[in-house]
Amino acid sequence: MKRFLVLLLIFMLGTSFECSNAVGLSFGKKQTEVQTDEISQQARVLYAQNNIDEALTLLQNKKEAERTAQDWLMMGNIMQDKDKIPEAVYMFNQALNKEPKYYKAHYNLGYIYFIQDKPNMALAEFKKAVKYNPEFAYGYYNIGCVYLKLKNYGSAKYNFFKALDLRANEPNVYYNLAYCYKKLGKDKKAQIYLDLYNKMMEQHEI
In a domain, 167, yes or no: yes
Residues 126 and 87 both lie in one domain: no
Predicted TM-score (pTM) above 0.75: yes
Residues 92 and 134 both lie in one domain: no
In a domain, 191, yes or no: yes
What was the pLDDT predicted at 174?
A: 94
Residues 136 and 181 both lie in one domain: yes
Confidence grade of residue 70 (pLDDT, cut at 50, 70, 90): very high
Indicate if the pLDDT at residue 95 is higher than 80: yes
CA distances from 189 to 68, 153, 198 (A): 47, 14, 14
Q: Which residues of 135-168 are buried (b: 16+ CB within 10 A; e: fewer)?
A: ebbbbbbbbbbbbbbeebbebbbebbebbbebee
What was the pLDDT predicted at 7?
A: 52
pLDDT, tens digit, for every residue of 13-56? Answer: 443 222 222 222 223 333 333 445 888 999 999 999 999 999 99
